[in-house]
């Protein structure tokens, strides 16, 4: 690291609130699937801004769409209509099969809206204000007070208690644990279709189908968090589309805007007609023309670049390469994941491996202390997978010891 970069990092520590233990690097620009720091060093990016930059960096068509919108209008507020929001909602409705869209600024805000939707849906049914939501252990939905309340990790919640009430936690892929918690006050069941921060755990098809049937039987809302696993990361536009079920409410964000802060919660027509009404929810910036211009171009480019086909093909190759790593190193216990959302589970903390890989020009992140999470841009090729695998193998070998 140059003295100049170190000075900038030292300055950052003086002015930024220390809520992140950041890696000691300053990224300055990106090109394709590579990042460059302020010293000019090149890094292969297998994080993509935590599953955000699905199209990679410096996509000219994406950049031009934003520049064009900036020259027209950036913001007007939700007291008025704007054309990009109308078009973005239509495109999002088409790729999701949902009916109503509310644009937010982030995934956490999308979860907040989903929670309010569920509570209002229950209230309109029976007038009660004591409805319960069932969420999942080890889940992560965001750090606002509502999203934190349904996050199934006590470590995140305890310093900020009391949370919002009437939240229960079941176990992902354990339907009996869900069914035992259902009462006449249950208004929603919320889960990530693939848990991300909690360890890259995909929900099983049988589990999802049983939850869907239970919700239909009891008139409970099935709410899916697709913030990280959605927008093509599993090989379908949304992960639940693999399983022949459909949620009543869905949260999306991250790759929805590919870098521009935007999220959304979507719902069926039935839920839209029996939940939030005028005055129940709002946002100043949500759905502004700039963010929605990004959403429109992202969805267009997904189709033009055949992103889903690439995820299916290269994602399968990525799984194969990671399975080979698992087989070759005794410190790797297993691989979990779907498509380009993968986790390698180790028998020890992975921080030193990630740092070692960073030094070698590969950007990785963890999911918990002992899992390396791989969420690259969705436009990577087999050659990029080979490059990543070669560096990862060297880093594992240097930190954990040689092959089996």
Coil, strand, or helix at residue 5?
helix
Could you tell me if 115 and 193 lie in one domain? yes
Model pLDDT, residue 404? 64
Same domain for 46 and 70? no
Instruction: Let me know whether 177 and 74 are in one domain.
Output: yes
Mean pLDDT of 129-150: 97
The mean per-residue pLDDT over the stretch 73-77 comes to 96
CATH of the domain at 257: 3.40.640.10
**Domain-terminating residue out of 271, 289, 304:** 304
Least confident of 9-13, 209-213, 288-292: 9-13
User: Does residue 209 register a pLDDT over 90?
Assistant: yes
**Phi-psi label, residue 319: left if phi above 0, alpha if psi -120 to 50, beta otherwise:** alpha
The percentage of residues in the chain with a pLDDT greater than 70, rounded to a whole number, is: 100
Last-in-domain residue among 253, 272, 304: 304
**151 neighbors 198 (Cβ within 8 angstroms):** no
pLDDT band at 194 (very low <50, low <70, confident <90, very high): very high
Calculate mean pLDDT across residues 61-65.
Answer: 98
Residue 216: pLDDT band with limits 50, 70, 90: very high
Mean pLDDT of 100-124: 98
Mean pLDDT, the chain, rounded, equals 97
Whether residue 74 sits in one domain with residue 46: no
List the CATH number of the domain containing 379. Answer: 3.90.1150.10
Could you say which DSSP state residue 247 is in? Answer: -
Give the domain-ending residue among 304, 321, 351: 304
Range of the domain at 12: 3-55+306-400
Assess whether 190 and 299 both reside in one domain.
Answer: yes
- Looking at residue 82, its pLDDT comes to 97
144 and 9, same domain (yes or no): no
Q: Is 145 exposed, middle or buried (0-12, 13-18, 19+ CB in 10 A)?
A: middle
Evaluate if residue 1 carries a pLDDT over 90.
no
**213 and 342 inside one domain:** no
Mean pLDDT throughout 48-72?
A: 98
| Residue 402 pLDDT greater than 80, yes or no | no
| Judgement on whether residues 184 and 108 belong to the same structural domain of the protein | yes
Statement to judge: residues 285 and 232 lie in one domain: yes
**Distances from the Cα of 266 to the Cα of 85, 98, 246, 252, angstroms:** 14, 6, 12, 8
**pLDDT single digits (tens) 285-338:** 999 999 999 999 999 999 999 999 999 999 999 999 999 999 999 999 999 999
pLDDT of residue 401: 82
User: Cα separation of 178 and 89, whole Å?
Assistant: 33
Nearest CA to 222 out of 171, 286, 266 is that of: 266
Q: pLDDT tens digits, residue range 346-372?
A: 999 999 999 999 999 999 999 989 999
* Together in a domain, 118 and 211: yes
pLDDT for residue 182 is more than 90: yes
Are 362 and 323 contained in the same domain?
Answer: yes
């Amino acid at each position: 690291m140059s003295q100049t970069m170190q000075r900038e990092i030292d300055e950052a520590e003086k002015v930024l609130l220390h809520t992140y233990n950041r890696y000691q690097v300053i990224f300055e620009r990106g090109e394709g699937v590579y990042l460059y720091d302020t010293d000019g060093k090149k890094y292969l990016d297998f994080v993509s801004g935590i599953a955000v930059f699905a199209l990679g960096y410096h996509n000219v068509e994406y950049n031009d769409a934003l520049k064009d919108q900036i020259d027209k209008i950036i913001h007007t507020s939700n007291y008025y209509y704007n054309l990009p929001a109308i078009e973005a909602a239509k495109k999002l409705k088409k790729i999701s099969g949902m009916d109503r869209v509310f644009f937010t600024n982030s995934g956490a805000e999308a979860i907040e809206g989903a929670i309010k939707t569920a509570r209002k849906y229950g209230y309109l049914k029976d007038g009660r204000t004591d409805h319960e939501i069932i969420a999942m252990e080890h889940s992560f939905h965001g750090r606002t007070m509502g999203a934190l309340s349904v996050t199934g990790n006590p470590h995140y919640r305890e310093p900020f208690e009391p949370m919002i009430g009437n939240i229960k936690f079941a176990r992902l892929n354990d339907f009996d644990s869900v069914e035992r918690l259902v009462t006449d006050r249950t208004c929603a069941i919320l889960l990530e279709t693939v848990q991300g921060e909690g360890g890259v755990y995909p929900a099983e098809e049988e589990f999802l189908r049983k939850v869907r049937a239970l919700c239909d039987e009891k008139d409970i809302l099935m709410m899916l968090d697709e913030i990280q696993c959605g927008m093509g990361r599993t090989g379908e536009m949304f992960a639940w589309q693999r399983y022949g079920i459909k949620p009543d409410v869905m949260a999306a964000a991250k790759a929805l805007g590919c870098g521009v802060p935007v999220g959304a919660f979507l719902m069926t027509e039935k839920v839209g007609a029996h939940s939030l009404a005028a005055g129940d929810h709002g946002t100043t910036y949500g759905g502004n023309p700039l963010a929605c211009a990004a959403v429109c171009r992202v969805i267009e480019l997904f189709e033009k670049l055949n992103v889903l086909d690439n995820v299916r093909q290269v994602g399968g190759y990525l799984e194969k390469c990671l399975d080979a790593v698992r087989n070759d190193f005794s410190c790797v216990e297993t691989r979990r994941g779907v498509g380009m959302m993968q986790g390698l589970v180790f028998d020890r903390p992975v921080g030193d491996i990630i740092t070692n890989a960073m030094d070698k020009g590969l950007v990785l992140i963890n999911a918990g202390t002992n899992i390396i999470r791989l969420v690259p841009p969705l436009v990577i090729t087999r050659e990029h997978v080979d490059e990543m695998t070669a560096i990862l193998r060297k880093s594992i070998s240097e930190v954990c010891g040689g092959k089996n």
